[in-house]
Amino acid sequence: MLAKRIIPCLDVKNGRTVKGVNFENLRDAGDPVALGALYSEQGADELVFLDISATLDKRKTVVELVKRIAKEINIPFTIGGGISSVEDVSACLNAGADKVSINSAAVKKPQLINQLSSEFGAQCIVVAIDTRMVDGIPIVHTHGGTKPTALNTIAWAKEVEERGAGEILLTSMDHDGVKTGFANEITAQISSQLSIPVIASGGAGKKEHFVDAFTKGKADAGLAASIFHFKEIEIQELKHFLRENEICVR
């Protein structure tokens, strides 16, 4: 059985880590590189950095962030935010990122997933899916969760795998920052129908929520932000709890 992964997520805006609720009301949570280095020391399995800043010189900003991270961190990390081309991915991987995450660009041009997987290998390509329930149906949202699409989340997840993505980062916008637990039902639906790993994101508030994500949600990894940023749960404490509950972790 593959060990389950614990992944802190750092949303970066204008060079600072921020965290909100349901993708809104952002508050400062510190320097992303320093936080990432701390999580690396504390036993995080991977890190995800999502640059949510809208800047005119987008790629330069992201590449500089990647270089800073790569100097300080010795665990795998994923970079996302505004990545929309082969050139963007190449620049990020060359700067030291292990994986890239694409979201809006994949929805706008699904063929991009095929391109990137063919060029760099599926293991580098994470497709992030932001989902929200609309009239009882899980719908994919883009542009930082601000734009609903016509895509059913489960159907899109299947298509993403068929096109060559190596992993899915599934964020429930309904659960994001609320700390009442992950969206286990849809996570399980997707995990059980796909063969690639699914990272559960959105809703972590206590250690038990990770147990549920790995058992009820069938997730391969659990991603969280504020509970780590604001020191509500320590990573080693969480891993110890998971082992006590017979979850295999590193």
Average pLDDT over residues 38-58: 83
Q: What is the pLDDT of residues 50-66, one digit of tens each?
A: 887 754 456 777 899 99
Question: Cβ contacts of residue 232 below 8 Å, gap of 6+?
Answer: 205, 226
User: In the annotation, is 28 catalytic?
Assistant: no
Least confident of 6-20, 75-89, 177-191: 6-20
99 vs 36, 196, 204, 211, CA distance in Å? 15, 15, 23, 26
- 88 is annotated as an active-site residue: no
Q: pTM of the predicted model, to two decimals?
A: 0.93
Q: How far is CA 197 from the centre of its chain?
A: 12
Q: Strand ranges (DSSP E) for the chain?
A: 5-13, 16-21, 24-30, 47-51, 77-80, 99-102, 125-134, 137-142, 147-152, 167-172, 198-201, 221-224
Q: What is the mean pLDDT of residues 10-20?
A: 82
pLDDT tier for residue 123 given thresholds of 50, 70 and 90:
very high
Domains of the chain: 5-244 (3.20.20.70)
pLDDT at 176 (0 to 100):
81
Structure tokens at 26: 């952002």
Q: Name, in order, each residue with C-beta under 8 angstroms of 155's C-beta and a sequence gap of 6 or more.
A: none
Structure tokens at 234: 């320590």
Question: If you search the block for the tokens 């290998």, which residue do you land on?
Answer: 121
Q: What is the DSSP letter of 196?
A: S
For tokens 């391969």, name the residue.
Answer: 220
Phi, psi of 210 (to 5 degrees): -70, -40
User: pLDDT tens across 76-108, in order?
Assistant: 999 998 899 999 999 999 999 999 999 999 999
Catalytic position from the list 11, 45, 51, 212:
11
Active-site residue among 130, 176, 212, 220?
130
List the beta strands (DSSP E) in 61-120. Answer: 77-80, 99-102
Torsion, CA 26, CA 32, CA 38, CA 39, rounded to 10: 70
More confident residue, 61 or 72: 72
For residue 73, what pLDDT is reported?
94
Please report the pLDDT score of residue 204 as a whole number: 95
